[in-house]
Structure 1
Amino acid sequence: MVVFLVWLLWPADPTKREREYRAETACLLTGEKGVADPDAAPVWAGMQEASVVTHVKVQYLEVSGPQTAENAETFLASLAQSKCDLILTVGSVPVGALRATAARFPSVHFVGIGGGSAADNVSVVSVDGPDSARRKTKELVASLAA
């Protein structure tokens, strides 16, 4: 009985660093170089910075195989079907897949970073270099927590 009480009253593990995330998820689609691509790296950095502050989940997926908009549509649809609340695209191939894919998923918000054309559920964010891309992406992801 004494052992049970000691165990029950023992303080929680202070080294435990479990992080509780919000229900919202922001996703990024990149070209074949993933987040190592010079255009994608600052976007991913902004997403991670926003996640630390807001606890919004972030993830990315890179287009593998032929680097065409048609092939990228499959990967973009995969993110939309995996319940991403906000899907960001960066690079000519992922951005090229935006319009066709977004039309199939009207309840998902898509964003073309640095390119694309706006539509009902597609926004386009112009950036002026890596710092601008990081900052604007951080603001977009943080808006999910608002």
Structure 2
Amino acid sequence: MRGTPPWSWFAAAARSARLWLQELGGRTIALLAVAVVVVAAVAVTGYFLSRTDTGRRLPDTGARSHKDVDACLLTGEDGITAGTTAADVWRGMRDASLRTHARVSYVPVTGEQSAANAGPYLDGLLQRSCDVVLAAGSPEVEAAERAAPLHRTVGFVLVGDSGSGSRDTGSARHAGSGESSGNVTFARPGDGLRAEVADAVERQVGARG
């Protein structure tokens, strides 16, 4: 009505809203409140996503990936204990791995330290598809030297001053350090062993792509 004060309209609207809410009940009001919160959250999330750089990230090219070549070391029961010849061989293998990304591992021969006992351990490395086999220690070198002619696709690096004198591969006892015969490379313990092993492994890995 024309003579009705403006505040009366607000009062009437408030009463109507209160009656409407009372009719809805508490459960319905709670659901409406949840719906309002969800809508608000979606709106805020959409806003921030629209301001975020969604460009595809390039992979980290600095991450190291291994080459599909395995170099495996057969050692005596002391493994790669510091101060042993095998420890120097292992360091050389690690150096080569850093340059070529070849995988490196080692297995110690436990029990009797003989070529006969080392044989099954060597067979295990060959069955694991080791591409390069290194042997450090007299029994291990002897076993590897005997096996080399039977595994021509595998590169052998023999470290030590003893060998079986195999006619097919040459004698580790008389071969000069760094010399090769067939698929076997010989190396002798000494100050330059680490670098020599690293070079030998790197050559073997390079020959396999």
TM-score range, shorter-chain basis?
0.7 to 0.9
Correspondent of 2:117 among 71, 85, 94: 71
Where in structure 2 are the equivalents of 1:44-83 lying within 5 Å?
A: 44-83=90-129
SS at match of 1:84: coil
SS at match of 1:145: helix
Correspondent of 2:147 among 77, 81, 101: 101
Q: Scaled by the length of structure 1, what TM-score is found?
A: 0.81
Judging changes above 3 Å, is the alpha-carbon distance between structure 1 residues 113 and 6 closer, same or farther for their aligned structure 2 residues? farther
Correspondent of 2:73 among 1, 7, 28: 28
Please report how far the alpha carbon of residue 7 of structure 1 lies from its aligned counterpart in structure 2 after TM superposition: 8.8
Deviation string 1:61-105 (CA, Å, 9 cap, x unpaired) is 111121111010111111112111111101112112123322332
SS at match of 2:158: strand
Q: Do structure 1's residue 86 and structure 2's residue 149 form an aligned pair?
A: no
Contact in 1 for aligned 2:185/2:200 (Cα 8 Å): no
Contact in 1 for aligned 2:135/2:157 (Cα 8 Å): yes
Contact in 2 for aligned 1:28/1:60 (Cα 8 Å): yes
Q: Scaled by the length of structure 2, what TM-score is found?
A: 0.59
SS at match of 2:80: helix
Aligned residues: 143
Distance in 2 between the 1:30 and 1:60 partners?
Answer: 7
Of structures 1 and 2, the one scoring higher in RCO (CA 8 A, sep 6+) is: 1
Judging changes above 3 Å, is the alpha-carbon distance between structure 1 residues 8 and 71 closer, same or farther for their aligned structure 2 residues? farther
Q: Which runs of 4+ in 1 moved over 6 A?
A: none
- 2:186 alignment counterpart: 124
* Greater Rg by CA: 2
Please report how far the alpha carbon of residue 125 of structure 1 lies from its aligned counterpart in structure 2 after TM superposition: 1.9
Distance in 2 between the 1:18 and 1:64 partners?
Answer: 36
SS at match of 1:60: strand
Q: Do structure 1's residue 133 and structure 2's residue 179 form an aligned pair?
A: no
Where in structure 2 are the equivalents of 1:5-24 lying within 5 Å?
A: 9=55, 11=57, 18-24=63-69
Contact in 2 for aligned 1:24/1:145 (Cα 8 Å): no
Amino acid of the structure 2 residue aligned with 1:111: V
Q: In percent, how many aligned pairs have the same letter?
A: 35
Distance in 2 between the 1:92 and 1:7 partners?
Answer: 62
Please report how far the alpha carbon of residue 26 of structure 1 lies from its aligned counterpart in structure 2 after TM superposition: 1.1
SS at match of 1:28: strand
Please report how far the alpha carbon of residue 8 of structure 1 lies from its aligned counterpart in structure 2 after TM superposition: 5.7
